[in-house]
Amino acid sequence: MKMIKQHSKKTGLPPGTLLHVGNERREQAKVTLVEYTADKCFEKQSCNIQEFLQKIPADTVTWFNIEGIHDISLIETIGKQLNLHVLTLEDIVHSGQRAKFEDFGDYLFIVTKMLRYNKELHQLQSQQVSFVLGRGYLMTFQESDWDVFEIIRLRIRKNSGFVRQMGCDYLCYALIDAIVDHYFEILEHFGDKMEELEEELLTHPSEKTLHKIHIIKRDFVLLRKTIWPLREAVRCLQDDESELLGDDTQLHLRDVHDHTVQIIDTLESSRDLVSGMLEIYLSSVSNKMNSIMKVLTLIATIFIPLTFVTGIFGMNFHTMPELRQGWMYPWGFWLIIIGIVVAMAVYFKKQKWL
Amino acid sequence: MKMIKQHSKKTGLPPGTLLHVGNERREQAKVTLVEYTADKCFEKQSCNIQEFLQKIPADTVTWFNIEGIHDISLIETIGKQLNLHVLTLEDIVHSGQRAKFEDFGDYLFIVTKMLRYNKELHQLQSQQVSFVLGRGYLMTFQESDWDVFEIIRLRIRKNSGFVRQMGCDYLCYALIDAIVDHYFEILEHFGDKMEELEEELLTHPSEKTLHKIHIIKRDFVLLRKTIWPLREAVRCLQDDESELLGDDTQLHLRDVHDHTVQIIDTLESSRDLVSGMLEIYLSSVSNKMNSIMKVLTLIATIFIPLTFVTGIFGMNFHTMPELRQGWMYPWGFWLIIIGIVVAMAVYFKKQKWL
Amino acid sequence: MKMIKQHSKKTGLPPGTLLHVGNERREQAKVTLVEYTADKCFEKQSCNIQEFLQKIPADTVTWFNIEGIHDISLIETIGKQLNLHVLTLEDIVHSGQRAKFEDFGDYLFIVTKMLRYNKELHQLQSQQVSFVLGRGYLMTFQESDWDVFEIIRLRIRKNSGFVRQMGCDYLCYALIDAIVDHYFEILEHFGDKMEELEEELLTHPSEKTLHKIHIIKRDFVLLRKTIWPLREAVRCLQDDESELLGDDTQLHLRDVHDHTVQIIDTLESSRDLVSGMLEIYLSSVSNKMNSIMKVLTLIATIFIPLTFVTGIFGMNFHTMPELRQGWMYPWGFWLIIIGIVVAMAVYFKKQKWL
Amino acid sequence: MKMIKQHSKKTGLPPGTLLHVGNERREQAKVTLVEYTADKCFEKQSCNIQEFLQKIPADTVTWFNIEGIHDISLIETIGKQLNLHVLTLEDIVHSGQRAKFEDFGDYLFIVTKMLRYNKELHQLQSQQVSFVLGRGYLMTFQESDWDVFEIIRLRIRKNSGFVRQMGCDYLCYALIDAIVDHYFEILEHFGDKMEELEEELLTHPSEKTLHKIHIIKRDFVLLRKTIWPLREAVRCLQDDESELLGDDTQLHLRDVHDHTVQIIDTLESSRDLVSGMLEIYLSSVSNKMNSIMKVLTLIATIFIPLTFVTGIFGMNFHTMPELRQGWMYPWGFWLIIIGIVVAMAVYFKKQKWL
Amino acid sequence: MKMIKQHSKKTGLPPGTLLHVGNERREQAKVTLVEYTADKCFEKQSCNIQEFLQKIPADTVTWFNIEGIHDISLIETIGKQLNLHVLTLEDIVHSGQRAKFEDFGDYLFIVTKMLRYNKELHQLQSQQVSFVLGRGYLMTFQESDWDVFEIIRLRIRKNSGFVRQMGCDYLCYALIDAIVDHYFEILEHFGDKMEELEEELLTHPSEKTLHKIHIIKRDFVLLRKTIWPLREAVRCLQDDESELLGDDTQLHLRDVHDHTVQIIDTLESSRDLVSGMLEIYLSSVSNKMNSIMKVLTLIATIFIPLTFVTGIFGMNFHTMPELRQGWMYPWGFWLIIIGIVVAMAVYFKKQKWL
């Protein structure tokens, strides 16, 4: 339900007022700087950002990563220094955005959602990551202190792949690609859960199964809401005519676009499959219930006429010849009883009720 | 059901006949004038509107707010003075419009729906707000005396944010933004309600829960009907090429457009979630019923054969050797009874019915 | 079900053969002529149409209204006189058309469906109205003798509104607007019915309620089929570049288009609401049934063990010490009975079954 | 289920290999030639096609109708003579095509599906009809020996309508129009069936009704699959810029297009109505079942406590004062019994269960 | 569930790192070379690919087929030799792609999914086939060692059809056509299964039927996910303006496009039919259950009042005149019993419950 709880704090403030809207607040925003060319690579934490921003080197790729978007003054400093539009700053600090892409001429602005499945808390975690891609620099703003970018950092340090040979735009692509690749992991996690559920459904369906199915359904609704807009954003980015994006990077972005389409396809198919599981659950519960009721009712149906027979012979009429006949008790009575049971059993068998 | 009750009063009148169609009628329409530049700010209520309209100052922003669209003669006066099209006036006084945007060349006309949740009446309230944005002035027409613009007025008075530095178009944007921001509050309210419902669903679902679910579903249908057209209207406004709209304002309108898209996304996801809740409710009710019926039927199924046994020993046959054996009563009889009960319990246990 | 019964009579005839397809046949087609300028207005019934058609005055607005499209020879005469295309004539006399707009260069051809709710027959009535808008004249062809145009006639006679000041195109707009305005009345009628139904649903749902819901659903399907194509037709008319349509009329048509969109919105929302009502009905019926079955089963469940106890004491064993103890009857037996009842009641209470 | 059984015979053959795929095989393909101008008309069966093809007269309309597309060598001869593309020939003999239109420059190729309801076999029959419209000739290829073109032949013979005055394109339009007109007959047939079903639903719903509903639903799925692509095909034909199509014919094709749209509308509405019927059926069956169970359970619920009372008085306690009181039997006992019955009846009445 | 399990192995690797992702791994990749002109044809297995790639003959069609995409070094060699883009190579070795088409200028890249139904394993098998169509050569990369291309090889060897007369583009078309033709076989297989299911549904529906229905539904979801993107890919290929594709080949590709549309149509219709089958199953199960319960409840309902009667005559009142009357036992008692049974039977008959 968290999906609709993030906006109202901001209601009533003038546009351009920066107010952080989101969940997590680290003590202090952490700024990490990575600077590299094909030859050398340089990393620094918690640097004096203002100094660096004043003279961004033209010949290197400079990547600022800001963890913690609640430090409004920091964001404002960066905004002033880099000449970012007021709405960009607002979108950065306000964590309830849809994924989107905007071309401000001097820089490109991309908002994405980073997802991971926290295995300790058994919980899906989401945070907003904003990209500002300018001439010679890339800034990434993330809400909290976990990310899926470690592999990119490793590639930069180890100079594996092409990342060190390419510019900022390629780095931006690589990071978005890392985020999208992580969506596949989330899908796999859900794939495993669905397999377990299907197993459970066939062997021992219970009311818990129903709740699991509904939790998965709800998670799919939220995932869809998160991933769907990214497709459009990446498509716009890929088609953008800004000179900040190289042709080759746009070719790579087409690949990312294909991946988002594939994820959405998979999500839609999974939703169909989960709906199918719900149908199976409901009809198997109803079938089980029906078969219990059938057996119980059969037992009652057999014994009620028998009780009627004993009722007859338990009557106190002064003249009941049947009661006096000696052969009547063990033979007559039990024959009637067994006769009734057999007749009913045969009938039920014939009707295929047993 | 109110959604389809507002038009027929007007049926049969010639287009251009102004007739107020709507619910609330304040005694007298209240006109408020706010005039400001970056330096000064001036506010006046119930002014002589005609005088002002004759010489709208060119260098200030002039905002007329008319509360109460039932005062036809006032609206007609304004229309004549400002040269508004007959259809514009008709749309202003007729409160059943969809949100829309129309460019009449000399002025822009925007219709929106303002929503608030009245916490005292536990009721969603809606009113139509029409904007006429002309050269140097902005007119807003609202149906009743509540609005969500107070925060904008405060900003103007206190000169906070950019509003005093910008023109009429920015003011128009700010007001629309205030309306859209308020939609988020409505969504949050529904989010809270849905959380309560989910809680209720898991702990003590009752027929009331079903009705609550259906009321939320219905409210979502109405919300969707209200908000959906606004998205298109804002998109048209944002893309309009009128010189009445500054570039920066259109950038801000893109932000509003993003917000409406986000609201619609959230609404659609919420509808999915509510449908899921209905499914949970129906199957949990059915499960509860089933488990009751199962226990009750089990009890009957156990006792009916036992009653048959007592029936046997209650028969009046003159020669029933079983009745005479001394060991038969306490031991034989109770062993049979206990035997039957145990056998059935074991069988039911084995079938996992207990 | 009438929606699919109107075409086959015509199957096999060459296109261009005029054959009336439809329900009602008035004895004789009734031709009404209204001719007006801003200054004067002239009305005539059952005139000699041929004479008039030969010299349509250029400076006045001439409106021919033909009631009864079964008079093939009349239609053919008009067609020849005004140079109408064979397919136009066919569409006029064949009443099963979808709403559509076609520009034939010399004249515009519009097909609409006029609806009204006949309060005496409790029935929705529909008839096709075709418009031929040419230079200086407007011809309307209707199937039967009721229409919703009386208000326009009044306006022409009384010279209220703009209609007398404007040309044929405005008259055409005014008539279409009258038809669309009438759709709102139909919607209101259904709105009232839905409110009644909702009331009935909450107080005394019965099988009749179900049928009423289904009849409304079916009516909505038919309404949707009728109104949906009109939206497209009006949009095409509004965008048409024919010189027969004035700019101002097209502005007014935009208004009509907005109305049809609004009607379709309302219709879709209403369909959603009716589906919700069906769900409420089904679950309330099922809830009611469940609560009946629960009470009945509870009664049976309580009495079956009691009957077993009486069965025990009704057995005829020669040695049953319980039967001889004097305290056994009133005290022992009734304590057992009351004990069982209380135990069960407590258990059921604890399980919240009571 | 036949819809997916027609392709695999062809799998693996090179494109351009002509292999007839379809159901019916007449002994020999039947070729009919109709040649006409405005003045004269000439008909011939089983002519030597090759001779005719070599010199197609330029000033007459020549219509070849080939019944039986299994005669591969004939098709190949025609193809070679008229210079038809290999894929055209393939589509002609392979009867599992979707309706489509293709412009090959020299000729236009149209595939349609002809439907009829065989009243003797109570079965919907379908066959593929392909049109090749070239300069001065029209070829139609049909699978089997029934068609819906008799009315067009009559018109040609009798020179009724415009067909004799017009060219090949008009003939082509007339034949397609005949096919589409026949769809209306099919729809009417289903309309009648639906009316019967609705009647049956209200008076005596049974399991057969359910099967009938499902058969109609399935037929609608198949009809939709058949008719839907035709709409697109006709639209393309109507917009085609080939000089083989006259302007007037394209105007007539717009009419055919309107008809297909109308048929699809009707089909969609009918599907909605049938779904509604299924809902009514299911809830009326469930209602009927519920009311049976309620009455049966009521009877049991009334008699079980009564049986308990007789059980009490049937006990064999040595000291039961009630049994000895003289007034106890007829009066006391029956008062208790009647009292219980009345109390229960009042309670059930109050709860509105009776 | 396999659909969402193929991506994560690759997460974190730099783009351009070739890592095979997929299921099957043959020991060694098998390269087959087919070279042909209209006159001669030459086939070779496991050739030294590098040598051939260095001088691809300009005047012949050269088709390399690589079975086993796990041989990364081979793929890399080919990539370097033919100047393929890094992303192309990645897509080739990564088997979880959607069907797609990309024009890289020098070559065209097509990804498709090949399906077959393995009759021994009763399982649907899928593998990715990538096409690289360059100047004078076609490369196909397949995952495992089965394919549906044998028929094309035969045609090349036997010089049947046009394939030997045409260029690489036609070969590429022929192979895609073979894949699409095979989809029809899969559909037919499902068509057969659905017919069996329908038979089973009408004669002896069981819980197994339900599971079969759900398996078919799931398979349709997966098929749809596989085939749907191919339609778009073929459409793009057909419209592509690359000089690598001849006009005639594009005409043939239009045919393939028609086939994919037809397959998707059939798939959608089949999904509708399967949903209908589920509805029939559920309502027939519920009907069967209902009729069982009705009979059982009827039996109980008849015997419970009878048991009450025997209870009455089994009471031990000292003064019960009924017990002493001699006519009471055989006649009176049995008349009451038979009377009750007949009365109930008549009532049930009248209510149509029997």
Q: Do A311 and E307 touch (CB under 8 A)?
A: yes
Closest-CA residue of C relative to B290 is: C290
Average pLDDT over residues C115-136: 88
Euclidean distance between CA atoms B75 and B17, whole angstroms: 12
The tens digit of pLDDT for each residue in D292-345 reads 888 888 888 889 999 999 998 888 888 777 777 777 777 888 899 999 999 999
**Per DSSP, what are the bridge partners of residue E59?**
none
Q: Do A4 and B255 touch (CB under 8 A)?
A: no
> For residue D231, what pLDDT is reported?
92
Partners of A221 on chain B (C-beta within 8 Å) are: 269, 272-273, 276
Nearest to B188 among A4, A85, A299 (CB): A4
With CA atoms as reference, report the closest residue to D222 among E268, C11, C8: E268
Given a cut of 60, whether residue E5 has pLDDT beyond it is no
The tens digit of pLDDT for each residue in B96-149 reads 788 999 999 899 999 999 998 888 888 888 899 999 999 889 999 998 888 899
Chains that touch E (3 or more CB pairs under 8 A): A, D
Task: Classify C122 in phi/psi space as left (phi over 0), alpha (psi -120 to 50) or beta.
Answer: left
Closest-CA residue of C relative to B313 is: C315
The one-letter amino acid at A338: I
Q: Do D299 and E304 touch (CB under 8 A)?
A: yes
Nearest to E258 among D12, D100, D310 (CB): D100
> For residue C21, what pLDDT is reported?
65
- For chain B, the maximum distance between any two Cα atoms, rounded to a whole number of angstroms, is 122
Q: Do E8 and A184 touch (CB under 8 A)?
A: yes
Q: Do B299 and C287 touch (CB under 8 A)?
A: no
Euclidean distance between CA atoms B290 and B280, whole angstroms: 15
With CA atoms as reference, report the closest residue to C260 among C149, C101, C150: C101
| Half-sphere exposure for A105 (CA within 13 Å, toward CB) | 4
> For residue C257, what pLDDT is reported?
93
- Two tokens at E131? 């096409």
Euclidean distance between CA atoms C30 and D74, whole angstroms: 59
The tens digit of pLDDT for each residue in C196-217 reads 998 888 888 888 888 889 889 9
> For residue B99, what pLDDT is reported?
92
The tens digit of pLDDT for each residue in A131-152 reads 999 988 999 999 888 889 998 9
Q: Do A210 and B283 touch (CB under 8 A)?
A: yes
Closest-CA residue of A relative to E214 is: A276
Task: Classify B22 in phi/psi space as left (phi over 0), alpha (psi -120 to 50) or beta.
Answer: left
> For residue D237, what pLDDT is reported?
93
Closest-CA residue of C relative to D286 is: C286
The tens digit of pLDDT for each residue in B217-264 reads 988 988 998 899 999 999 999 999 888 998 889 989 999 999 999 999
Euclidean distance between CA atoms C172 and C169, whole angstroms: 5
What percent of chain E shows pLDDT beyond 70? Answer: 92
With CA atoms as reference, report the closest residue to D302 among C299, B288, A311, B53: C299
Average pLDDT over residues C315-325: 80
Q: Do D324 and E318 touch (CB under 8 A)?
A: yes
Partners of A177 on chain E (C-beta within 8 Å) are: 15
- Torsion of Cα atoms, B245 then B251 then B252 then B253, to 10°: 70
Strand order in the sheet with A30-36: A41-45, A30-36, A61-67, A137-142, A123-133, A108-118, A100-103
Q: Do E162 and D14 touch (CB under 8 A)?
A: yes
Given a cut of 90, whether residue C71 has pLDDT beyond it is no
Partners of E190 on chain D (C-beta within 8 Å) are: 4
Place of tokens 């509107």: B49
Euclidean distance between CA atoms E131 and E65, whole angstroms: 9
Given a cut of 90, whether residue C176 has pLDDT beyond it is yes
Per-residue pLDDT 10s for chain D (354 aa) are 344 445 555 555 666 666 666 655 556 788 888 999 988 888 888 767 777 777 788 788 999 999 888 888 888 889 998 899 988 998 898 887 889 999 998 999 999 999 988 888 888 888 999 999 998 899 999 988 888 999 899 999 988 888 888 999 999 999 999 999 999 989 989 999 999 998 888 888 888 888 889 889 988 988 998 899 999 999 999 999 888 998 889 989 998 999 999 999 999 999 989 988 888 888 888 888 888 888 888 888 889 999 999 998 888 888 777 777 777 777 888 899 999 999 999 998 888 877
Are E117 and E186 contacting, i.e. CB atoms less than 8 angstroms apart? yes
Question: Which pLDDT band, with edges at 50, 70 and 90, does E287 fall under?
Answer: confident
> For residue B202, what pLDDT is reported?
82
Partners of E324 on chain A (C-beta within 8 Å) are: 318
Nearest to E16 among A161, A262, A317 (CB): A161
Q: Do B317 and A329 touch (CB under 8 A)?
A: yes
Q: What sign does the CA torsion over E21, E26, E28, E32 have?
A: negative
Nearest to A266 among E4, E8, E207 (CB): E4
User: Mutate which of B151, B274, B316 to test chain A, going by most A C-beta atoms within 10 A?
Assistant: B316
The tens digit of pLDDT for each residue in C140-170 reads 999 888 889 998 999 999 888 888 889 999 9
Given a cut of 80, whether residue E12 has pLDDT beyond it is no
The tens digit of pLDDT for each residue in E192-250 reads 999 999 888 888 888 888 888 988 998 898 899 889 999 999 999 998 988 899 888 99
Partners of E184 on chain D (C-beta within 8 Å) are: 4, 7-8, 11
Closest-CA residue of B relative to C264 is: B225
CA-to-CA separations, D142 to C315, D131, D156, E259, E282, in angstroms, rounded: 87, 9, 20, 21, 42
What percent of chain D shows pLDDT beyond 70? Answer: 92
Beta-strand (E) ranges in B17-161? 30-36, 41-45, 61-67, 100-103, 108-118, 123-134, 137-142
User: Mutate which of A303, A317, A318, A352 to test chain E, going by most E C-beta atoms within 10 A?
Assistant: A317
Q: Do D97 and E163 touch (CB under 8 A)?
A: no
> For residue C81, what pLDDT is reported?
87
Euclidean distance between CA atoms E129 and E148, whole angstroms: 11
Partners of B155 on chain A (C-beta within 8 Å) are: 14
DSSP state of A83: T
Closest-CA distance of chain B to residue A48, Å? 29
**Per DSSP, what are the bridge partners of residue C101?**
C110
Closest-CA distance of chain A to residue B55, Å? 30
Burial B274-304 (b: 16+ CB within 10 A, else e): bebbbbbbbbbbbebbbebbbbbbbbbbbbb
CA-to-CA separations, B354 to A14, A297, B279, B300, E245, in angstroms, rounded: 63, 16, 26, 14, 71
Q: Do D221 and E269 touch (CB under 8 A)?
A: yes
Closest-CA residue of C relative to D348 is: C292
If DSSP codes are grouped into helix, strand and coil, which group holds residue A273? helix
Are B139 and B64 contacting, i.e. CB atoms less than 8 angstroms apart? yes
The tens digit of pLDDT for each residue in E295-354 reads 888 888 889 999 999 998 888 888 777 777 777 777 888 899 999 999 999 998 888 877
Place of tokens 């008692």: E333
If DSSP codes are grouped into helix, strand and coil, which group holds residue C183? helix
Helix, strand and coil content of chain C, in percent to the nearest 5, comes to: 60, 15, 25
Euclidean distance between CA atoms E51 and D329, whole angstroms: 116
The one-letter amino acid at D71: D
> For residue A12, what pLDDT is reported?
56
Q: Do A265 and E225 touch (CB under 8 A)?
A: yes
Q: Do B190 and A4 touch (CB under 8 A)?
A: yes
Chains that touch B (3 or more CB pairs under 8 A): A, C
- Two tokens at A227? 């991933």
If DSSP codes are grouped into helix, strand and coil, which group holds residue D116? strand
Partners of D3 on chain E (C-beta within 8 Å) are: 191, 266, 269-270
Contacts of E216 (CB under 8 A, 6+ apart): E190, E193, E194, E197, E274
- Two tokens at B112? 């929106």
In a 10 Å sphere around its CB, with 0-12 CB exposed, 13-18 middle and 19+ buried, how is residue B350 labelled? exposed
Closest-CA distance of chain B to residue C341, Å? 13
Question: Which pLDDT band, with edges at 50, 70 and 90, does C20 fall under?
Answer: low
**Per DSSP, what are the bridge partners of residue C113?**
C128
Given a cut of 90, whether residue E138 has pLDDT beyond it is yes
Question: Which pLDDT band, with edges at 50, 70 and 90, does A65 fall under?
Answer: very high
What percent of chain E shows pLDDT beyond 90? Answer: 30
The one-letter amino acid at B62: T
Rg of chain C over CA atoms, in angstroms? 35
CA-to-CA separations, A279 to A66, A291, B277, E240, in angstroms, rounded: 47, 18, 15, 44
CA-to-CA separations, E54 to A52, E30, E139, E211, in angstroms, rounded: 51, 19, 14, 55
Euclidean distance between CA atoms B184 and B189, whole angstroms: 9
| ipTM for this prediction | 0.77
Contacts of E300 (CB under 8 A, 6+ apart): A300, A301, A304, D296, D300
Chains that touch C (3 or more CB pairs under 8 A): B, D
Nearest to A185 among E8, E214, E295 (CB): E8
Beta-strand (E) ranges in chain E? 30-36, 41-45, 61-67, 100-103, 108-118, 123-133, 137-142
Q: Which contiguous run of DSSP H or E holds residue E261?
A: helix E247-313
Average pLDDT per block of 10 residues along chain B, 354 residues long: 48 63 66 89 79 79 89 88 90 86 92 89 87 92 89 89 89 94 90 90 84 89 90 92 89 92 91 88 84 85 90 84 77 89 91 78
> For residue A257, what pLDDT is reported?
93
Q: Do D188 and C306 touch (CB under 8 A)?
A: no
> For residue B25, what pLDDT is reported?
58
Q: Do D12 and E178 touch (CB under 8 A)?
A: yes
The tens digit of pLDDT for each residue in C225-279 reads 889 999 999 999 998 988 899 888 998 999 999 999 999 999 999 998 998 888 8
Partners of E100 on chain A (C-beta within 8 Å) are: 258
DSSP state of B207: H
Nearest to C318 among B3, B297, B324 (CB): B324
